[in-house]
Chains A and B, each alone.
Chain A
Amino acid sequence: MTEARPRTSLFWTLTLLSLLLSLPVLVLAARGAGHLGQAFAAWDVALNSLLLALGGTLLVLGVALALAYFALLGGVGRGLEALLILSFYIPPFVTGMGLLFTFQSLGKPIYGVPGILLAWTLHYTPLAYALLRPSLESVLPLLRAARAHGVVGIRRLRVLLPPLFPILLSAGGVVYLALLGNFGVPAVLGLPARVYTLPTLAYSRLNSPLSQDPLGSAAALGLALGILALPALLLRPKPLLEAAPEEGPTSRPLFRLGFALYALLALLLSTWGLLREALLNPYTGAFEPAFRAALDLPLVQKGLRNSILLAVTAASAVLVLAMALRPFPRVLRQLRATLDPHHTLPGTLLGLGLILLLAPTPLYATVWLLLLAYLLHFASLALRSLEAGLRVEAKVAAARVHGLSLGRAWFRVGYPLLLPQARAAFFLVFPLALSEITLSALLYAPGAETVGVAVLGALNGGLYREAAAVGFILAALSTSALLALGGRRW
């Protein structure tokens, strides 16, 4: 009986907190509901979004599965894998811009659907690969059994796919949500060819000189986006425990070569054009690096400064929150579950919701609004990565047996053991926040621009060379986070 009281009050506190945290999405739903008619009028764009995201998901899963197969047969190690993962650390809209310039230099512009699908495949395949490889490893022995029964060639897929189905479904859900909510790639490659997705159309509506009620009609599109995302939310996988890597028995160099070739080609496609555009004068072909001119632009300077500050602050803050809650797993799990939608649902929803909620307040048009959005968006990532993994409770309990208070036990024993995980969480959030563009394109204000906004602005303003230069710098900054992650010490 004495225990029930704090439990109930905890329950109510958490419920109230959940309600408060979901306010942006609730406001969006309320405002958008009145304009759903306008969203229905854009049904073709909704269908387009759905088909693009589904097609992209299939492509990503297919390529990732093939790569995982090559990696397992070729005995690909951490080094080569890191080469592949590099592509994931180049922000999606930079990948899109890189493709744009690469194909332009080949004389074959790649706007529209093919460009979007290619950019998504290059960027998201490493993610799907990381999710699929452990499972493929465990079912690969089936192939040997299949061969014994005379099943060879393409028919082997019928042996392999059924046991992989659950992981394909949940990995597919993750990729689908990412593609559906992706703003940067369709903004760079779709808008010029008038290929619209819901996030880009919502952005256009919000900025339309024609609309009588830009916020309402954009909110309705956000609502439609939420509805399309709903089925995939049910497929979210539980926090993954990383499988212990086992060296495969066979190691066929040809497969390793294939893997390496793909990883290199992916990197080359997305960076070749960027570098070329940033380094050479397009009219004379002379060597004139545009980095200096790009960094001289006040918008770029301000954007870089704001983005780095925002990324460091947001990553540190969500990490501190996750660490503080780590001794209370129930609260941690509850809060993570409440915040999950802000990360998994397309960022357009959160961005529009925050505008609706906070436009009349002094918070509007300041960098604090961006910070709030980033905290809401990235918190679940950090909480999730501390929720899973190493169990330190037993060791903390042991420390308490030896007479340490709860706080001291955590500070002396628990947290030090969690440091590697904390570092991983920080460098997971940092590059994503650094190159964030979906939220910041909606929420930025004069004086509170992000570097992503600066790049999009330069691109729309015809400053191709400066945009390419900043894109390249951004890619380099993000990948250095990967290197920091690979380092032994913090």
Chain B
Amino acid sequence: MRALVLLTFLLLAAFAQESRGSLTLYVAGAQLPDVNALLQGFRAEEPGIEVKVFRSGAGEVSAKIRAELEAGNPQPDLIWLVGEGLFRELSQKNLLRRVPPTYPGLPPQYVYEGGKYYEVRLLHNVLAINTKALPKEEWPHQWKDLTQPRYRGRVALADPNYSGPALIALGSLSKRYGFGYIENLKANGVQVEQSNPVLQQKLARGEYAIALTNDYGVRQEQEKGAPLAIVYPQDGLIFAPTPIGIPTWSKNPALATKFLAFLLSPRGQAIFAERGYYPVMPGAPRPQGAPASLISLRGEEPSAELLSRFNALFGLRR
């Protein structure tokens, strides 16, 4: 009996373990190890802080925020997404807390709406190639090449319902080349995978020859020895905005602001480069083996109708 009481107390103590400074971050567009590297860097400067993370695809993260808003009990102190849609919505409803843009050297195009949200690193959509599956002379050079019959059944992209970068790619490509281009992709046997990391794993293992995917993940797999190469399409690689901002309901805005400042600090920017992203600060290091600068076209999310059309075309259920 005494053992039982003791056990109960131990369990209660274990559950109740809560540190004083706590920050809840909802994040998409970065993988677990990336987030962990950033948190480690942050904790080195702010010891004793607990950061709770909800990490998933942009689709799931924004759906979760919407559901929590509907229930009147939103959780995140800091939101970091792919695509500006939800941020514009929150801004219109006056649900974003403005942070004065006092970060020396930060180019003005990365400060949105006077500091309501920010860009802290750059994410691009590129073409990734399995070098074992496709000899160099057969590599595609443009997005448009993907509809060529010689690539039939060898190309894949991530599910735009789940993946933010894929959603932006769908929006940009259908805007540039019309939905007919997407239909041609489908006709050419293009496959849809759940997420970009899964897609990159399958590409690296030879299940596909070409993937329309994000750049940082490919660089990370290259580092691990995967037979992958990046092609920056000549018809313009797609820049996917990954805004970060602090909502008005944040329980700890001071700490959230500190985390934002850390991401823009030299240490934070260096971590981005180490993880294969382009930092936003001009003086920061570039990712290894990547061009010094990239010229890209800003991407946009498609309308809900267009996404529904895509889902119907590829047999995706939501």
Contacts and interface: CB of A to CB of B under 8 A. Distances in A.
A201 interface: yes
Interface string A190-229: 0110101000010011111111011100000000000000
Contacts of B194: 191-192, 460
Contact of B32 (A191, A284, A297): A297
Nearest to B16: A367
A360 B71 contact: yes
B256 to A, nearest CB: 14
Given A365-B73, A446-B52, A211 B11 contact: no
A249 B36 CA distance: 62
Contacts of A446: 24-26, 52-54, 75
Nearest to A359: B71
Interface in B14-62: 14-15, 24-26, 31-33, 36, 39, 50, 52-60, 62
B55 A457 contact: yes
B230 to A, nearest CB: 17
A206 B64 CA distance: 8
A192 B193 CA distance: 6
B308 to A, nearest CB: 7
A364 interface: yes
Contacts of A463: 31-33, 197
B295 interface: no
Contacts of A458: 32
A172 to B, nearest CB: 28
A462 B317 contact: no
Given A205-B318, A312-B11, A447-B52, A460 B71 contact: no
Interface stretch (B92-100, B143-151, B201-209, B239-247): B201-209
Contact of B317 (A45, A313, A367): A45
A316 interface: yes
Given A192-B193, A208-B59, A210-B307, A462 B201 contact: yes
A142 B155 CA distance: 60
A196 B75 contact: no
B197 A194 contact: no
Given A209-B161, A211-B318, A359-B68, A460 B195 contact: yes
Contacts of A104: 205
B171 to A, nearest CB: 12
Given A201-B317, A446-B24, A447-B52, A208 B63 contact: yes
Nearest to B58: A209
B197 A462 contact: yes
Given A208-B59, A447-B52, A460-B197, A196 B32 contact: no
Contacts of B15: 309, 367-368
Given A209-B161, A214-B66, A457-B32, A309 B14 contact: yes
B27 to A, nearest CB: 10
Interface residues of B, number: 62
A141 interface: no
A39 to B, nearest CB: 12
A405 interface: no
A214 B201 contact: no
B317 A194 contact: yes
Contacts of A42: 317
Contacts, number: 138
Contacts of B200: 462
Nearest to A284: B225
Given A196-B317, A214-B63, A445 B197 contact: no
A182 to B, nearest CB: 18
A22 B193 CA distance: 39
Contact of B75 (A211, A298, A309, A445): A445
Contacts of B11: 309, 312-313
Contacts of B59: 207-209
Nearest to B225: A283
A204 B57 CA distance: 12
A262 interface: no
Nearest to B311: A210
A192 B207 CA distance: 13
B67 A214 contact: yes
Given A211-B63, A309-B14, A446-B54, A461 B73 contact: no
Nearest to A364: B73
Interface string A83-122: 0000000000000000000001000010000000000000
A177 B43 CA distance: 47
Interface in A312-350: 312-313, 316, 320
Nearest to B318: A208
A309 B67 CA distance: 28
B73 A360 contact: yes
A163 interface: no
Given A192-B194, A204-B318, A299 B24 contact: no
B317 A464 contact: no
B308 A210 contact: yes
Contacts of A447: 24, 50, 52
Contact of B224 (A214, A215, A283, A361): A283
Nearest to A42: B317
Interface string A348-383: 000000000001110011011000000000000000
| Interface-centre pick from A208, A214, A283 (highest chain B CB count, 10 A) | A208
B83 to A, nearest CB: 9
A364 B71 contact: yes
Interface of B: 4, 7, 11, 14-15, 24-26, 31-33, 36, 39, 50, 52-60, 62-64, 66-68, 70-73, 75, 161, 167, 192-201, 204-205, 207, 217, 224-227, 304, 307-308, 311, 315-318
User: Top 8 nearest A-B pairs by Cβ distance?
Assistant: A462-B197, A359-B71, A447-B52, A446-B52, A207-B60, A446-B54, A209-B59, A208-B318
Given A213-B70, A457-B55, 20 more contacts: A45-B317, A201-B317, A204-B318, A210-B161, A210-B311, A281-B224, A282-B205, A283-B225, A283-B227, A298-B36, A299-B32, A299-B55, A365-B75, A446-B25, A447-B24, A457-B32, A457-B56, A460-B56, A461-B195, A463-B31
6 contacts: A209-B60, A209-B161, A210-B307, A446-B24, A447-B50, A460-B197
